[in-house]
Amino acid sequence: DERTLLANLSVLNWEQVQRLDVILAESIPIHGRWNFPTLEIKPRDIVKVVRCRMEEKRIHVREVRLNGSAASHVLHEDSGLGWKDLDLIFCAELKGEMEFQTVKDIVLDALLDFLPEGVNKDKITPVTLKEAYVQKMVKVCNDSDRWSLISLSNNKGKNVELKFVDSLRRQFEFSVDSFQIRLDSLLLFYECSEHPMADTFHPTILGESVYGDFPAALDHLRKRLICTRNPEEIRGGGLLKYCHLLVRGFCAASGTEMKILQRYMCSRFFIDFPELGEQRRKLESYLQNHFVGLEDRKYDYLATLHGVVQESTVCLMGHERRQTLGLISSLALRVLAEQNVIPNTANVTCYYQPAPYVSDSNFSNYYVAQVQPTHSHTPYIHKTCTVHRQTLSVLCRKVREFRKMWTRPDWLRRPCVYLFLTSENKK
């Protein structure tokens, strides 16, 4: 109703308008592959070009919005999120396949306008432009969602993402990334006003929280609180973004409720990515796209993800759970190796699940710590082992030995063992 709608909206103040103006007027480099030149694109310019050409092709654009971390940055400068991708939403009427193809052609054709002077454009085809400047393209068409995404690549992770939305059921993951800023009034001001903006002379610009309750969502952003609802509706459950927020210093608004929601996040993630290969590709892609310039945070992120998956995964068989945890552990060790980081091995955290027969007093194995015969085994016993003068290369070698052991035919006769370094152990 109208009262609920008003609760979701807020008028931007002058400081917020200034930050928005800087973002839209800033020139963002779109880096070309191979020997293609870099395009310098201002968001306000590409919005104008694309929108005009969509109207020429009789695709009605209801409005244009700024979304994601850039919108959060506009509303609260010290949000803790930073902003990388510039998400621009074109709310348009996309009735069928023809409209989606037309939008794709419009964006690729618009890139020609931003090529530097002196470049011969005659022989540059849309396919060539796609290969040179587009990082990814997505199209979703089903009963509840009709939208497409074209992401223009930037080597520093500040991609310009153009999203064309007819309908989208779930538009946010967490309250802190649920903000959208309606740009139409500002874009009209750019075209019509002969005078620059000032505190007493600027357009009225509305911000909206698609989470609902704008003041509450903004309070979460200012206090760095994590809050969501129904994470099972999100592709991937919001699990990777949730761990990213934790690493950035956010904390759960309600610890008890979030422990419950973590289970839904993990369950939806493993529904969408059931195979180990899919999980690896998703994790590697997330690390590549969200940690540009923040490589030193990758390890902490993986350690956090490992803890959440270990604590809250209830939908997997035991061996599947161990495989996923082993995957995260191996990625964490690879990150350390890439950064040439030598961990402080005074305390190395080991996780292992002894086989039932380990309780036999006559059993002895080099890889297994001593276990009292009167104790029953407990899955994922946590031990702190003291290891002296071992470098990362030694640890990696041990992990490789353990992984070889798992693939041997007699692996069922051995306990499952793998190493995982906690974040406190890293220099």
Q: Are residues 72 and 186 in the same domain?
A: yes
Query: What CA–CA distances, in Å, run from 413 to 120, 320, 376, 378, 404?
Result: 67, 18, 18, 17, 14
Q: Which of 337, 356, 387 is the last residue of a domain?
A: 337
Please tell me the total count of domains within the chain: 3
The secondary structure element, H or E, covering residue 15 is helix 14-25
Specify the pLDDT at position 123.
86
Q: Mean pLDDT, 10 residues at a time, over the chain (427 residues)?
A: 79 96 95 93 97 97 95 85 85 94 97 92 91 95 94 91 96 95 97 93 96 94 95 96 95 91 96 96 94 91 97 92 96 89 52 51 44 39 35 51 46 41 45
Q: In angstroms, rounded to a whole number, what is the distance separating the alpha carbons of residues 186 and 149?
A: 23
Specify the pLDDT at position 156.
86
> Six-digit token pair at 82?
């930073």
Q: Are residues 272 and 187 in the same domain?
A: no
Q: Are residues 10 and 79 in the same domain?
A: yes
Q: Are residues 297 and 384 in the same domain?
A: no
Specify the pLDDT at position 361.
53
Specify the pLDDT at position 6.
80
> Which residue(s) pair with 161 in the sheet?
87, 151
Q: Are residues 37 and 162 in the same domain?
A: yes
Q: Are residues 283 and 357 in the same domain?
A: no
Q: Are residues 402 and 270 in the same domain?
A: no
Largest Cα span, the chain: 90
Reported residue count of the chain is: 427
Specify the pLDDT at position 413.
37
Q: Are residues 35 and 6 in the same domain?
A: yes
Angle (CA) 155 161 167, round 5°: 160
Specify the pLDDT at position 343.
54
Specify the pLDDT at position 17.
97
- Whole-angstrom distance between the N-terminal and C-terminal Cα of the chain? 55
Q: Are residues 57 and 174 in the same domain?
A: yes
Per the structure, the complete domain to which residue 167 belongs is given by 2-223
Q: Are residues 323 and 352 in the same domain?
A: no
Q: Which of 285, 306, 337 is the last residue of a domain?
A: 337
Q: Are residues 147 and 30 in the same domain?
A: yes
Q: Are residues 239 and 117 in the same domain?
A: no
Q: Which of 288, 313, 337 is the last residue of a domain?
A: 337
Specify the pLDDT at position 118.
87
- DSSP line for 268-324: HHHHHS-SHHHHHHHHHHHHHHH-TT-GGGHHHHHHHHHHHHHHH--SS-HHHHHHH
CA torsion 241-246-250-254 (nearest 10°) is 90
